[in-house]
Structure 1
Amino acid sequence: MKKVLDYIREYNMILEGDSVLVGVSGGGDSVCLLSLLREFRKEIPFTLRVLHVEHGIRKEESVQDMEFVEDLCARWEIPCKSVRLEVPAYAKKEGLSMEEAARKLRYEALYEGAERIGGAKIAVAHHANDLMETMLFFLCRGCGIKGLYPMEPVSGQLIRPLLCVTKAEIEEYLKNEKLQFCIDATNEDTVYTRNRIRKEIIPILESVNEGAVEHFFRTANRLRQADEVLQKAEAAALLNYVGKEGADLRIGGEIVQEPIYIRQQVVRKCLSDLAGQKKDLTGQHVEAVLRLFGSQVGSFIMLPYQIRGEREYEGVRLYRTEAAQEQGEKKERPGFKKPIFGEENLVLPDGSRLSVRIFEKNERISEIPEKSCTKWMDYDIIKNKLEVRYCQPEDFFVMDAVGHKKTIKKFFVDEKIPKKQREEQLVLASESHVFWVLGRRMAEDAKVTGATRRIMEISIDKGDKTDE
């Protein structure tokens, strides 16, 4: 399908010389994707590999699917690796649904597989019907604008070449090319919400308008473009109206002049930063904070996670009560560990936000940021098993171009860093190899050089205007 090749080119999903890892289940969608990418190599020279995940759910059928994919790849002379997972055991251990556990482990396997072959791009077979299904699912559950464009053509390493085509177009392609594929019986079981949307609701909407799927796809694109504008406005409002004093956040009263959506988003971000998560924070809590701006000085409200909102002369102060802060420190600090699989947006224990962006190095780049809270690093050097966590006694970093190493403990002593700050120091590391002591020192071997191909930009937003 030429439209898929055009879509790939429009979003620079695959460039000449790239390495692409395709997740192939053996179903029609992934077989279609693999077949198309195999043909597109004639137009764009790139390396193609396959990863198949056997979830351990459907027993004999799963093994048959794995054998089918391996045979198909052998015939097409495409390198293939199969990974066996025990999803039922993991779901039980973590208290997750089977679908959620399978998705989590599947993506972990894909990212790990991509890293093993040099940071390959990961191609998955989501199509326009999947997009529509997810939009409807999120709408029924309640969501913001982001939930109305839940899949993007490119998201870090992840690419979705089939997002521009419908399920009907995929089925027609499979029929015309006489391609065989596996059928997963669980996809027909309407006891699952997503299957019910796919099998019952979408056909009804298509009976109302046969172009419904394409219209949802175009609407999602418009919403994504509109949200880019809104995110810039939200970021500007955060800089203009939100200040941080210790662990407290203060929202200036002048924010009432902003449109209601921007006010809501600013308050929502402040609450989630204080809580360290979004769970249990609802629109009602956001509205309760906004009503404080019209209340008398001294008025206050209590919110989840023992967050208190208090009206002051110049605006509203949000903070966690002392008991909540102490409990949070004891519970959260020892176990804080967040893996970095690609582009990320994380809330750190102190409420600040860490964002990760990955992009191709442009030869025209002449100035590398030297700010303490924004760093550029060579992604292809640091990408393996990357995580943000508290520092450990065995941690070390490379301190100069010669390769001399220094332990974190010695670094703290040399820099005369107080003990309390040492205990709360976060690092970006791969196992015990530290690449950045957040806000302080970056390792020499992580720096961007003339040989760098891809850059990882890591920024920390502390909620104020300082980045010295």
Structure 2
Amino acid sequence: MFSNFQNHIVSRFPFLAEKKLFLAVSGGLDSMVLLHLLKKLPYEIAVLHCNFQLRGLESFGDQEFIKNYCKQNNIPFFTTQFDTKAFAEDYKLSTQVAARELRYSWFYELLEEENFDYILTAHHADDNLETFIINLTRGTGLEGLTGIPEQNDKIIRPLLPFSREEILKYAEENNIEWREDSSNASNKYLRNKIRHDLVPILKEINPNFLNAFQKTQSYLQESQEMTEDASIMVYQQVAKEDGEDIHFDLNQLKKLPNYKSYLYQWLNEFGFTAWNDIYDLVNGQSGKQVLSEEFRLLKNRETLILSPISYEPNDEEFEINKEDTEVNFPLNLKLCQVDDITIDSNKAIFVDAEKIQFPLILRRWNEGDVFQPFGMQGKSKKVSKLFKDEKLSLIEKEKTWILCSDNQIVWVVGIRQDERFKIENTTNNILKIELQ
């Protein structure tokens, strides 16, 4: 196994040479074999161990076992302890999910603090099979059937091609000691039920089942890569990025016979889970939206708009004083005295400086705001009606700012100036306010 492992890690992960590697070691069979294998290769390694305090004295026995091993073999050792049950209760998580959250959070903290490059874990082929079956029983797409990735960001799993049987044989041949986790014998957890009850039946039906499964995984991964390539090409035809927002053209999208698959592929990474609601948006009413924890998908006429959810308070106000010539937050504005007018866009207005009162106030628009649009003498209009006429989306409305003088609107910024502050034939001082 050692030569196969050496060839695999050199061919698949050549970039690990001369890198600093953390090994996640529980003390069990798999991680102790990985540690033994890497110890024989010319890599700079250190060991990470998490004590989740879930098995009483047994957990502390694991910690002491690995600590002594590292000391005897002159391997740097890092460990921490978690109150996993309390964390799971506080955040309403299962014990297994809580342990995973705690483990990887600590791993990434140490990567940065200790200036290491990657973390290696001991997941193997049987783990991959179990994960596949778990995902299959819960319902999943192609991504869930491709199993555990060999690399996920800074996490690398060099034992994935090797079976539990190969790992056990290597351990016995090399007299490797390990700790047995008593919880692995219990069928309390779904993974253990699959490991103890289902997988042996599959291997009985086909003694080469694990090899056949790995071939299937390879085919699925190739299909996933093809899907991703197609998704990128279609995205370029359907989507348009505008700053932090992404606009999906529904007319183009609905021409695709399987547009739901593309939507899933594009939006999955943004944390959405209500997929039927998202698919209904395509033919739903304008203004409807679906939320994830950090993002919003809005139907706006013939467009779906994906945008981050803004947590900025709507009642915040910013003052602009008379001596200010530039404003850098929350918008970039430039104020200056000019001698004449050169109107070429909605990005600038020209006002009679003697009609305004400082400090000017920059704020978000409010429902009920009224102003007199430039060119409409004596006629008032609700800002909300202006938005409707301009066909602004909900997201665009939320991003709109209002510039006020003494509680009167001077400018719906970037859209329309107020009539009351325009320059006249008698104007002596012209103030230009420009949105950069």
Aligned to 2:239: 242
Deviation at 1:253, TM superposition (A): 2.7
Q: Given the superposition, is the C-alpha separation of residues 123 and 419 from structure 1 closer, same or farther in structure 2, using an over 3 Å criterion? A: farther
Query: In structure 2, how many angstroms separate the alpha carbons of the residues matched to 1:98 and 1:318?
Result: 38
Q: C-alpha offsets along residues 40-77 of structure 1, whole Å, 9 cap, x if unaligned?
A: 22xxxx21110111112112000000000011112222
Aligned residue pair count: 322
Residue among 270, 274, 277 paired with 2:271: 277
Change (3 A) 1:13 1:69: farther
Q: Decide whether the 8 Å contact of 1:32 with 1:174 is kept in 2.
A: yes
Three-state SS of the structure 2 residue aligned to 1:96 is coil
Q: Give the structure 2 partner of residue 64 of structure 1.
A: 61
What is the match of residue 27 of structure 2? 26
1:116 aligns with 2:113: yes
1:267 aligns with 2:263: yes
- CA displacement at 1:176 relative to structure 2: 0.8
SS in 2 for 1:91: helix
**Counterpart residue number, 2:369:** none
Amino acid at match of 1:318: L
Distance in 2 separating the partners of 1:205 and 1:333: 55
Residues 315-343 of structure 1, C-alpha deviations (whole Å, 9 max, x = no match): x43369xxxx99x64xx558xxxxxxxxx
What's the CA shift string for 1:173-205, capped at 9, x where partnerless? Answer: 111111111111112211211111111111111
Structure 1 position 152, deviation (Å)? 1.6
3-state SS, counterpart of residue 36 of structure 1: helix
Give 3-state SS (helix, strand or coil) of 1:20's partner: strand
Instruction: Kindly report the root-mean-square deviation, in angstroms, between the aligned alpha carbons of the 2 structures.
Output: 3.4
- The separation in 2 between residues aligned to 1:100 and 1:180, in whole angstroms, is 28
> Aligned partners of 2:29, 2:138: CA distance in 1, in Å?
29
**Structure 2 CA distance for partners of 1:228 and 1:78, relative to 1, 3 Å:** same
Question: Are the aligned partners of 2:260 and 2:279 in contact in 1 as well (CA < 8 Å)?
Answer: yes
DSSP 3-state at the match of 1:52: strand
List per-residue Cα deviations over 1:252-306 (Å, max 9, x = no partner).
434455452xx22333356668xx5322x23x4465456x4xxxxx877967549
CA contact (8 A) 2:22 2:116 kept: no
CA change 1:108–1:299 in 2 (3 A) is closer
Partner of 1:136: 133
Deviates more, 1:228-237 or 1:119-128: 228-237
Question: Where do 5+ consecutive residues of structure 2 fail to align?
Answer: 314-325, 335-361, 365-395, 400-436
When residues 289 and 213 of structure 1 are mapped into structure 2, their CA distance, relative to the original with a 3 A threshold, is farther
Determine the structure 1 residue equivalent to 2:304: 318
The whole-number CA distance in structure 2 between the counterparts of 1:184 and 1:318 is 50
Contact 1:8 1:14 in 2 (8 A): no
Asked if the contact 1:27–1:184 (Cα under 8 Å) also holds between the matched residues in 2, the reply is yes
Contact 1:121/1:159 (<8 A) preserved: yes
Show the 5 A alignment for 1:76-115: 76-115=73-112
CA contact (8 A) 2:125 2:164 kept: yes
Residues 406-457 of structure 1 deviation map (CA, whole Å, 9 limit, x = unaligned): xxx9964895498779x98xxxxxxxxxxxxxxxxxxxxxxxxxxxxxxxxx
- Equivalent residue of 2:79, what SS? strand
Is 1:178 matched with 2:171? no
C-alpha distance in 1, partners of 2:74/2:327? 52
Gaps of 5+ in 1: 293-297, 335-408, 425-468
Q: After superposition, where does 1:7-406 map in structure 2 within 5 Å?
A: 7-12=8-13, 15-41=16-42, 46-243=43-240, 249-258=247-256, 260=258, 263-268=259-264, 277-279=271-273, 281-282=274-275, 284-285=276-277, 288=280, 292=283, 304-305=290-291, 316-318=302-304, 329=310, 332=311
In 2, Cα distance between equivalents of 1:62 and 1:277: 34
Letter in 1 for 2:264: R
Larger Rg: 2
Deviation at 1:217, TM superposition (A): 2.4
Secondary structure class of the residue paired with 1:126: coil
Conserved? CA contact 1:29–1:125, under 8 Å: yes
SS of structure 2 residue aligned to 1:4: helix
1:5, distance to aligned residue in structure 2 (A): 1.5
Aligned partner letter, 1:40: L
Q: 1:317 is matched by which residue type in structure 2?
A: T
User: Which amino acid in 1 is paired with 2:141?
Assistant: G
* Structure-2 change in CA distance of 1:271 and 1:28 (3 Å): closer
Alignment of 1:444-463 (within 5 A): none
Distance 1:155 1:118 in 2: 19
Tell me the secondary structure at the aligned position of residue 58 of structure 1: coil
Matched residue SS, 2:115: coil
Distance 1:77 1:254, change over 3 A: same
For each residue in 1:185-243, what CA deviation from the matched residue of structure 2 results, as whole angstroms up to 9, or x when unmatched? 11221121111111111111111112222222232233223222211211221220234
Q: Percent identity of the aligned residues?
A: 26
Letter in 1 for 2:24: G
Aligned-partner Cα distance in 1 for 2:92–2:176? 38
TM-score (normalised: structure 1): 0.61
Larger displacement relative to structure 2 (158-167 or 240-249): 240-249
Question: What is residue 348 of structure 1 aligned with on the other side?
Answer: none
